[in-house]
Amino acid sequence: MFINNLAYEASAGSGKTFMLVVRYLSLLFKGAEPSKILALTFTNKAANEMQERIVQTLEELEHRGELDEIVKVTELSRDYLLQNRQRVLNEFLNSHTKIMTIDSFFTQILRKFSLYASLMPDFSTSSSQHELKLLSRFLKEVSVAGKKETLILLSLAFNKRFTDIFSLLDEFYIKFKEIKHIKFKKQNYRVFEEEALSSMAELKKIISSCKAASKTALKSVEVQNYEELCAKAWIGRETLNYNTFSKCFTSEIDHLLTKIQEAIREHNRAKEQNFFYAIKELVDIYTKSKKALYMDDSELSFSDVTYLVYEILNLIEDSHFLYFRLDAQIEHMLLDEFQDTSILQYEILKPLIDEITSGKGIFDNGSFFFVGDVKQSIYRFRGGVSALFDAVRRENDTHVEKLLINYRSQKEVVAFVNELFEKRIKNYTPQLVREGAKGGYVEVVQNDDPLEEVVIRVQKLLSIGANSSEIAVLCATNSDGQALKEALLAKNIEVITETTTKLINQKSIKAVLEYLKYLYFDEDIYLQNFFALVSQKVRPLKKVDFNEAKLLDVVKNIIDEFRLFSDDFNYVRFLNALSKYSDIESLLFEYERLDLSAAASQLSGVRVLTVHKSKGLEFTHVIVMDRLKKAPPARDAIIYEYEGISLKNIYLRIKGRESIDKNYENALKKEKLLVHEDSLNALYVAFTRARENLFIVTKSKDSMFAILDLKIGCSGSLDIQKSHIREHDFAKLQAETGALEYKELYYGTQNDILALEKAQDEDIKSINFGIAMHYMLEMLGSFDAQSISLAKEMMLNKYGAFLEDEEIEDIENRVSMLLKNKTFLSLVKGECYKEKAIRYKNNLRYIDLLVKSNSVKESLFERWNIIDYKSALSYVDEHKKQVNYYVNAIKEITGDEVDGYICYLLQGSIKIVKI
């Protein structure tokens, strides 16, 4: 049965991602358009894999476990599904799908509404120099604002390096919304220092004049300054009536102790207030520098994007309006790894989720689905708060289902994980073993040289027939991974790491890039490289004029001409990514920044990755390696105290503060628990990646596994099935079913609704033309000639790649003519709303231009003009009907007088028709 509002809260390997794919495919089979399904993941890798999993599942549907599940969810027959899968696959491959990371989704929103943030829509979101530029900008701004002193004092007073302060500023910037309600006051903390020292002096007097005072007692009250006082071992005691002072004890002594403690507590609080006050002042400057950077250089980080989207949402009086304009197309939302969503991200998504789950209006058939596992929440440090899962479920009244069977791992692995974590993780439900998974092997081995041990284990696995690509070694840090890589390479074992998995480092993609370099730079070396990479004989290549040809077409021609495609999914990724680059220069000079990873099926070698990066992945053999160096102590300067999902308070970490400040002590306890939970969760993630065999290499001291109390030993038998072919041996399948065909994706999004209206009848070219013209009209700052050039530029940024030069010129002419048309200018006098979304009789429609006319001031009623732009005189009757519909809608909504006009922007003239 299909449940509209559903979540799966389930353990690792129980099939959450599987169910996400089942859900996606069920939607497709039930007739949902791919472009109306928004599937959000956390990493590009996950988004790409999901895309590929959907294709693979459809290709192999009759052999896949997903088929039975889709039958259950859709209540459609197996036969129906199998008969329709090719159609569904074709539709999917030729649609503008919305499977992406949450960051990309927000970036899309921001591009669309960039003007609200005074940004150009073509901003970029990654640059290797970003941090450095920001730092220098910030220092300049600090100096201009006269806050250099603050920065230096902060650094000195709190013994923090400047880089620490810089990252604190970023932390505050990201959490600005959560922190907003906490107020800070500048305070003089010296008075408390004096109070504490004066009570101390009295205490010293009493002890010094006590004849029975021991040497220790006298030494214990020896204090030169405030810092020494705070460092005294007795400072946190409830009473001084203990060994050291007992012989001299009077109630006055404890009275003084209380006074000293109070003074120190207040001193800490005042110091904390000052610290946060200064930080907040600097955060304002930091925010300003960030803004300056993205205005001047159009460069943003993902946290800037999230921040701005949130700001824009609050700026626009009708945030629903924003979502509608953006996503009239989104009817179904699917979220992966929900436990890692940050509160701010959720706040942004919430209006959309609300619309979908309310089942009202256009979302009659909408659905909401999310999966997650709170035990795998390891991004708390980034603002992920695992309690959000529960809160969202409650807020949206989502039906939650559990998945109890582990489909990933063999019995030994499941049993080991159950036993280890059942006692340690709250509400842990032991997983059941899937039918037939009777084998598996788990070994915990101790060696104080983990590198050596891991290399031995890898060699052993290879020697008994394991395929190197099925082995993964999970490490604590990137630098441990680097060390291991070198150790494995030294033994001639091929290794795959983050860098080797980058899309642009794949041989097939490198080849295309070399070809393009040859075309652009005209150097022979690139020609040689190209042929070497595609293993073909060198021959002359045709030249291309990039003023004439579009980048995407050139690349597609290369792939076609040299028959490069076959089954290489990397090309699909690369072609998709190309849409980001407006021309050959921007590609050749910026591709290094392309942060996409290669398709997993195209890589070979032992995988070395961090535990954090292993989330969501699975490998046949997993070796988890202990950290090579001792873990640095958790010394975050700030302690964030949450209650559920709301930030209750923040504290400055001060040594020993917990002994005299109850609130701080509680916050610290909570924090320690969370840190412990994070470490446990990370290990849970690591151990649950293994399908067949799991090895844990632990040190005897300073081990990251210490919290688990692991027993050295093994269980099960190490048995490698030599021909371990993955269920989806893609290459083989491609050979059987024919190569996957890549078709150009349709990139227009802004006005897809326009396209949909007549998609069947009009050819794609005129749709593109119409969409681009509408976009330019929408981007006009005001209806005068000065606005034309900026609007044109924005239109070119977005649609330039799809338009011929004559079409661009034609659009510009038509818009210029319109802005000279007297009738039009008289109609737009008043308050103008462009691309106004209206919901009427359960339909969502966009009005190109809605004008609240200012010509009838004295009347009781307002007067509205509706203007609908068209680029051709075809379908006149339908256009009239459409505008009539708008007129009735606005009349009914406002109760005012409404006139409707169709504005035909034709090639040589403007024609305005009143309805």
Binding residues for ATP: 10-17
Taking the complex as a whole, the smallest distance from the CB of residue 18 to ligand ATP amounts, in Å, to 3
49 binds ligand ATP (CB under 6 A): no
Of 646 and 721, nearer to ligand ATP (C-beta) is: 721
> How many angstroms separate the CA atoms of 162 and 168, rounded?
10
Q: Supply 90's token pair.
A: 């074709």
Nearest one of 693, 697, 679 to 627, comparing CA atoms? 697
Of 16 and 291, nearer to ligand ATP (C-beta) is: 16
What Cα–Cα distance (Å) separates residue 469 from each residue in 52, 243, 409, 725, 821? 19, 65, 18, 11, 67
121 binds ligand ATP (CB under 6 A): no
Among 384, 440, 616, 748, binds ligand ATP (CB under 6 A): 616
Among 7, 9, 13, 868, binds ligand ATP (CB under 6 A): 13
Taking the complex as a whole, the smallest distance from the CB of residue 59 to ligand ATP amounts, in Å, to 15
Taking the complex as a whole, the smallest distance from the CB of residue 156 to ligand ATP amounts, in Å, to 46
In the stretch 468-487, what mask flags binding to ligand ATP with x, by CB under 6 A? --------------------
Of 5 and 688, nearer to ligand ATP (C-beta) is: 688
What single-letter amino acid sits at 421? F
By the 8 A CB rule, do 473 and 730 touch? no
Taking the complex as a whole, the smallest distance from the CB of residue 728 to ligand ATP amounts, in Å, to 9
Of 123 and 389, nearer to ligand ATP (C-beta) is: 389
Taking the complex as a whole, the smallest distance from the CB of residue 16 to ligand ATP amounts, in Å, to 3
Of 16 and 380, nearer to ligand ATP (C-beta) is: 16
Q: Rounded to the nearest 5 degrees, what angle is found at the Cα of 133, between the Cα atoms of 131 and 136?
A: 110
Looking only at residues 392 through 431 of this chain, which bind ligand ATP when binding is defined by CB under 6 A? 407-408
**Burial tier of 705 (Cβ tally within 10 Å: 0-12, 13-18, 19+):** buried
Task: Tell me the DSSP string of 107-171.
Answer: HHHHHHTGGGGT--TT-BS--TTHHHHHHHHHHHHHHHTT-HHHHHHHHHHTT--HHHHHHHHHH
What Cα–Cα distance (Å) separates residue 875 from each residue in 640, 703, 751? 61, 73, 18
116 binds ligand ATP (CB under 6 A): no
> How many angstroms separate the CA atoms of 419 and 371, rounded?
24
Task: Tell me the DSSP string of 319-350.
Answer: HHHHHHHHHTT--EEEESSGGG-BHHHHHHHH
Of 497 and 688, nearer to ligand ATP (C-beta) is: 688
> How many angstroms separate the CA atoms of 233 and 253, rounded?
16
**Burial tier of 746 (Cβ tally within 10 Å: 0-12, 13-18, 19+):** middle
Of 639 and 696, nearer to ligand ATP (C-beta) is: 696
Taking the complex as a whole, the smallest distance from the CB of residue 802 to ligand ATP amounts, in Å, to 37
> How many angstroms separate the CA atoms of 364 and 333, rounded?
14
Nearest one of 821, 897, 910, 905 to 866, comparing CA atoms? 897
601 binds ligand ATP (CB under 6 A): no
Taking contact as CB under 6 A, which single stretch among the options 15-23, 644-652, 739-747, 761-769 is the one that binds ligand ATP? 15-23
> How many angstroms separate the CA atoms of 348 and 109, rounded?
10
DSSP 555: H
> How many angstroms separate the CA atoms of 260 and 200, rounded?
7
Taking contact as CB under 6 A, which single stretch among the options 9-17, 176-184, 467-475, 637-645 is the one that binds ligand ATP? 9-17
> How many angstroms separate the CA atoms of 838 and 893, rounded?
9
Query: What 3-state DSSP class applies to 621?
Result: strand
Taking the complex as a whole, the smallest distance from the CB of residue 349 to ligand ATP amounts, in Å, to 21
687 binds ligand ATP (CB under 6 A): no
Taking the complex as a whole, the smallest distance from the CB of residue 691 to ligand ATP amounts, in Å, to 8
Of 16 and 798, nearer to ligand ATP (C-beta) is: 16
What single-letter amino acid sits at 558? I
Of 67 and 849, nearer to ligand ATP (C-beta) is: 67
840 binds ligand ATP (CB under 6 A): no
Of 170 and 618, nearer to ligand ATP (C-beta) is: 618
Of 8 and 783, nearer to ligand ATP (C-beta) is: 8
Of 415 and 512, nearer to ligand ATP (C-beta) is: 415
Taking contact as CB under 6 A, which single stretch among the options 10-18, 384-392, 446-454, 660-668 is the one that binds ligand ATP? 10-18
What single-letter amino acid sits at 416? F
Of 22 and 654, nearer to ligand ATP (C-beta) is: 22
In the numeric block, the tokens 């079913």 are attached to 737
18 binds ligand ATP (CB under 6 A): yes
* Contact partners, residue 716, CB within 8 Å, separation at least 6: 410, 411, 412, 439, 440, 441, 442
The gap from C-alpha 73 to its chain's centroid, in whole angstroms, comes to 29
373 binds ligand ATP (CB under 6 A): yes
Of 11 and 287, nearer to ligand ATP (C-beta) is: 11
What single-letter amino acid sits at 630? K
Handedness of CA 123, 127, 129, 134 (dihedral sign): positive
**Bridge partners of residue 406, in order along the sequence:** 433
By the 8 A CB rule, do 854 and 862 touch? no
Known binding-site residue numbers: 10-17
Task: Count other C-beta atoms under 10 Å from residue 634's C-beta.
Answer: 12
Taking the complex as a whole, the smallest distance from the CB of residue 846 to ligand ATP amounts, in Å, to 38
H-type alpha helices, 297-318 = 302-315
> How many angstroms separate the CA atoms of 31 and 26, rounded?
9
Taking the complex as a whole, the smallest distance from the CB of residue 74 to ligand ATP amounts, in Å, to 15
Taking contact as CB under 6 A, which single stretch among the options 6-14, 82-90, 274-282, 890-898 is the one that binds ligand ATP? 6-14
Query: What 3-state DSSP class applies to 769?
Result: helix
Total residues in contact with ligand ATP, by rule CB under 6 A: 17
Q: Supply 903's token pair.
A: 């504005």
Of 311 and 618, nearer to ligand ATP (C-beta) is: 618
644 binds ligand ATP (CB under 6 A): no
Among 5, 7, 16, 853, binds ligand ATP (CB under 6 A): 16
Looking only at residues 63 through 102 of this chain, which bind ligand ATP when binding is defined by CB under 6 A? 65, 69
14 binds ligand ATP (CB under 6 A): yes
By the 8 A CB rule, do 615 and 685 touch? yes
The gap from C-alpha 728 to its chain's centroid, in whole angstroms, comes to 28
Taking the complex as a whole, the smallest distance from the CB of residue 437 to ligand ATP amounts, in Å, to 10
Q: Supply 730's token pair.
A: 């893609």
Taking contact as CB under 6 A, which single stretch among the options 5-13, 672-680, 755-763, 796-804 is the one that binds ligand ATP? 5-13
688 binds ligand ATP (CB under 6 A): yes
Q: Which residue is nearest to ligand ATP (CB)?
A: 15
Among 5, 7, 9, 17, binds ligand ATP (CB under 6 A): 17
Taking the complex as a whole, the smallest distance from the CB of residue 69 to ligand ATP amounts, in Å, to 6
Task: Tell me the DSSP string of 414-452.
Answer: HHHHHHHHHTTSTTPPPPEEPTT----EEEEEE-S-HHH
Taking the complex as a whole, the smallest distance from the CB of residue 690 to ligand ATP amounts, in Å, to 11
384 binds ligand ATP (CB under 6 A): no
In the numeric block, the tokens 């011929």 are attached to 804
Taking the complex as a whole, the smallest distance from the CB of residue 90 to ligand ATP amounts, in Å, to 24
Among 6, 7, 9, 15, binds ligand ATP (CB under 6 A): 15
Q: Binding residues for ligand ATP, per CB under 6 A?
A: 10, 12-18, 65, 69, 373, 376, 407-408, 616, 618, 688
